[in-house]
């Protein structure tokens, strides 16, 4: 496995700046998740590393080697596509064997069989090896897609929303499996998603991307608790972070430049203290409930555990945890107290 | 919906529409088959029954038409015929019963061979070049792509024969008249626009991810094209090849104009097979029957690919 380093990587499509002077280093063996909305430049970044797109500026280094000018085949990376991209005219076995039969990395037939069977076992698709790639369920197809990446030992794995086409249950299973495999192999993975749960659960570090720029890079905990800006804060957490004007919460000692308060729904307590609010709606999620509150002009969400007895239309008091409060300035940047 | 009398789905045709559709299809099939059946039948008639009026549907079949198609014959005096040794083959006997002897093979075989060379040669070229062009148009940022595609299509906006005179003059100047090569490139040029457009549609349907996956897995673009794209295009290639072959195989006007001896194809040759007292209809019909065979066989072989269609299954859209 190898380190991935992007140096002022830039890519434009006509008038659109997909990726702008991106600097990013992903350590050897790190699971790095690029998180961002559609059109943020996540996939383009991935394709720049793979060599499927040509850089308009900057460099890409893999394992300390400048690969900016190399063809995809010569970069020795593995790519998992969102839509699987299995070769429909091949069996599962041949799909998995395809990278090992390439002119560039040809292995002996015995070795191909051995590797394919190993990987199939790891991903629990041994029984499907003789199937046509098209005769599989979505989950199995993506296992084959991941298997095709695992079958050779590449510099790094690039994954483009590999789980987003699967249903929720499968996604959960594969998420756990993928993280497990990554730990076992010590693989360097650059993983692209717009799903915050995937980012938070799997990543060693998260990079939040928007309009081709990295807004923040850090551990999931870091990015969640100390977001650099309002956009980052909004990107993580469900329900989304509450943003209140300063005067909604009187008597708070805040930095002078602060214009908004950010408070996560789980840090809003309905314990009979704090500011007055009216309950607009209650959503029961099973283990927890989301209470939608209105305090003056402001609307906010509170996440309370278990079934709550509060009724819509009643008045409650909401206490906002002072320690958990985040302050943002005019431009949306976080300011520390 | 519960009030309607028909309990079938709204997208599935009902039994009445099905029946009407079958009748229409059967009638259409019969109407198109009758002339073909007539040609095949005429091939087995004698010259007299072929032009009998009213036409005979029940007749005694003979291979005279086929023998006449493949042979040149001369009429001889009864004395000459009587002096001949007994006939060695069944076709010698058949010819002698008409007071004629075989003087040699006819030119039909050579014409038929020309048709095969020119028809399949130009089909191969048109599909080969069309596949590469279609791939390039589909995948690469070709400058002026739309204009080029329109330009290619515009060669189909007039009947090819409209340019017969310039082509004739050009071919005469270049020495391409009555040559296999000249006819192959002519038919290729006519078919190429169809081939590029048809195939581009098929390439467009194949997700780029296939090639991208292959290119990351250690293959060059050309290898990825060969191993991944081409197999996916087989149905499109089969369909295009059939269309190209049918045009090149049946083409009459240019063949009549540009070929005479060396490279003449079967279409201008068959209608002028002369027998006694005019056209030899059984021989013409026999020639036509044999002429239809390659296209029929080619289509039947490739039909499997046509019907199978393209499987996009492994990429969800």
Tell me the domain boundaries of chain A: 4-234, 239-335
Query: Where do we find the tokens 């467009």?
Result: B204
Q: Which residues pair with B279 in a beta bridge?
A: B274
pTM: 0.82
Domain A239-335 is of which CATH architecture? Beta Barrel (2.40)
End-to-end, the C-alpha distance of chain B in Å comes to: 32
Instruction: Enumerate the residues of chain B whose CB falls inside 8 A of the CB of residue A102.
Output: 217-219, 223
Sheet holding A275-284: strands in order across?
A268-269, A315-320, A275-284, A288-295, A298-305
For chain A, strand residue ranges (E) read 4-13, 16-26, 31-35, 57-62, 65-66, 78-80, 157-160, 189-193, 205-210, 213-218, 242-245, 260-263, 268-269, 275-284, 288-295, 298-305, 315-320, 326-328, 334-335
User: What digits encode the pLDDT tens for the residues B2-47?
Assistant: 444 545 567 778 889 899 999 999 999 999 999 999 999 999 999 8
Q: Is residue B101 within a helix (H) or strand (E), and if so which, with residue range?
A: strand B100-105
Split at pLDDT 50, 70, 90, the class of A29 is: very high
Does residue B311 surpass a pLDDT of 90?
no
Q: With 0-12 CB in 10 A as exposed, 13-18 as middle and 19+ as buried, what is B313?
A: middle
User: What digits encode the pLDDT tens for the residues A40-89?
Assistant: 999 999 999 999 999 999 999 999 999 999 999 999 999 999 988 999 99
For an interface test with B, the pick among A51, A79, A88 (most B C-beta atoms closer than 10 Å) comes out as A88
Q: Tell how strand A189-193 and strand A31-35 pair up.
A: parallel
User: What digits encode the pLDDT tens for the residues B281-299?
Assistant: 999 999 999 999 999 998 8
Q: What is the mean pLDDT of chain B?
A: 88
The CATH topology of domain B109-308 is: MetI-like fold (1.10.3720)
How many residues are given for chain A?
Answer: 337
pLDDT of residue B310: 40
Provide the total of helices (H) and of strands (E) in chain B, helices listed first.
Answer: 15, 4
User: What digits encode the pLDDT tens for the residues B188-211?
Assistant: 999 999 999 999 988 998 999 999
pLDDT of residue B8: 58
Does residue B315 surpass a pLDDT of 60?
no
Which among A182, A146, A141 has a CA at the least distance from the CA of A33? Answer: A182
CA nearest to A95 within chain B: B214
Instruction: Enumerate the residues of chain A whose CB falls inside 8 A of the CB of residue B212.
Output: 50, 52, 72, 79, 81, 85
The CATH number of A4-234, from 3.40.50.2300, 3.40.605.10, 3.90.1150.10, 3.40.50.300, is 3.40.50.300
Which tokens belong to A327? Answer: 């302050």
Tell me the domain boundaries of chain B: 47-106, 109-308
- Chain B contact for A79 (CB, 8 A cutoff): yes
């Amino acid at each position: 496995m190898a380190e991935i380093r992007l140096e002022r990587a830039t890519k434009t499509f006509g008038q659109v700046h997909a990726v702008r002077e991106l600097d990013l280093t992903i350590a050897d063996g790190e699971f790095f998740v690029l998180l961002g909305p559609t059109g943020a430049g996540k996939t383009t970044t991935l394709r720049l590393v793979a060599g499927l797109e040509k850089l308009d500026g900057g460099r890409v280094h893999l394992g300390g080697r400048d690969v900016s000018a190399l063809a995809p085949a010569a970069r020795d990376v593995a790519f998992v596509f969102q839509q699987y991209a299995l070769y429909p005219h091949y069996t599962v076995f041949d799909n998995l064997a395809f990278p090992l039969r390439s002119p560039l990395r040809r292995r002996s037939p015995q070795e191909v069989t051995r590797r394919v069977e190993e990987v199939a076992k790891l991903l629990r698709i041994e029984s499907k090896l003789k199937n046509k790639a098209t005769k599989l369920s979505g989950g199995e197809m993506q296992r084959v897609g991941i298997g095709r990446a695992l079958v050779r030992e590449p510099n790094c794995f690039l994954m483009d929303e590999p789980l987003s086409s699967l249903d929720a249950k499968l996604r959960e299973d594969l998420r756990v499996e993928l993280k497990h495999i990554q730990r076992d192999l010590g693989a360097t993975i650059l993983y692209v998603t717009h799903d915050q749960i995937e980012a938070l659960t799997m990543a060693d570090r998260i990079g939040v991307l928007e309009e081709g720029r990295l807004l923040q890079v850090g551990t999931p905990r870091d990015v969640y608790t100390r977001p650099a800006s309002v956009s980052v804060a909004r990107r993580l957490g469900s329900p989304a972070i509450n943003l209140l004007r300063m005067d909604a919460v009187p008597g708070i000692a805040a930095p002078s430049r602060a214009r908004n308060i950010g408070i996560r729904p789980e840090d809003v307590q309905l314990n009979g203290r704090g500011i007055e609010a009216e309950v607009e709606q209650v959503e029961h999620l099973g283990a927890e409930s989301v209470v939608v509150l209105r305090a003056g002009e402001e609307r906010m969400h509170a996440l309370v555990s278990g079934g709550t007895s509060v009724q819509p239309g009643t008045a409650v008091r909401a206490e906002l945890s002072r320690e958990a409060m985040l302050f943002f300035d005019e431009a949306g940047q976080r300011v520390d107290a | 919906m519960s009030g309607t009398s028909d309990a079938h789905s709204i997208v599935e045709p009902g039994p009445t529409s099905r029946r009407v559709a079958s009748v229409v299809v059967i009638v259409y099939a019969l109407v198109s088959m009758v002339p073909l059946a007539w040609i095949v039948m005429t091939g087995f008639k004698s010259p007299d029954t072929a032009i009998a009026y009213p036409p005979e549907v029940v007749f005694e079949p003979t291979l005279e038409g086929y023998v006449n198609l493949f042979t040149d014959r001369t009429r001889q005096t009864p004395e000459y015929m009587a002096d001949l040794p007994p006939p060695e083959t069944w076709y010698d006997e058949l010819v002698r019963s008409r007071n004629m002897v075989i003087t040699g093979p006819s030119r039909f075989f050579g014409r038929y061979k020309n048709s095969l060379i020119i028809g399949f040669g130009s089909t191969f070229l048109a599909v080969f070049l069309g596949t590469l062009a279609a791939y390039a148009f589909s995948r690469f940022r070709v400058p002026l792509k739309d204009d080029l595609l329109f330009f290619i299509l515009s060669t189909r906006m007039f009947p090819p024969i409209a340019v017969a005179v310039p082509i004739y003059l050009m071919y005469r100047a270049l020495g391409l008249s009555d040559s296999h090569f000249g006819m192959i490139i002519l038919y290729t040029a006519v078919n190429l626009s169809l081939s590029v457009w048809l195939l581009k549609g098929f390439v467009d349907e194949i997700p780029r991810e296939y090639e991208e996956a292959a290119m990351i897995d250690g293959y060059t673009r050309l290898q990825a094209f060969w191993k991944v794209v081409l197999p996916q295009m087989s149905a499109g290639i089969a369909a295009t090849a059939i269309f190209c072959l049918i045009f090149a195989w049946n083409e009459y006007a240019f063949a009549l104009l540009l070929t005479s001896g060396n490279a003449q194809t079967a279409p201008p040759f068959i209608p002028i097979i002369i027998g006694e007292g005019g056209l030899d209809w059984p021989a013409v019909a026999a020639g036509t029957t044999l002429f239809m065979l390659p296209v029929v066989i080619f289509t039947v072989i490739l039909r499997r690919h046509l019907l199978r269609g393209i499987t996009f299954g492994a990429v969800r859209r």
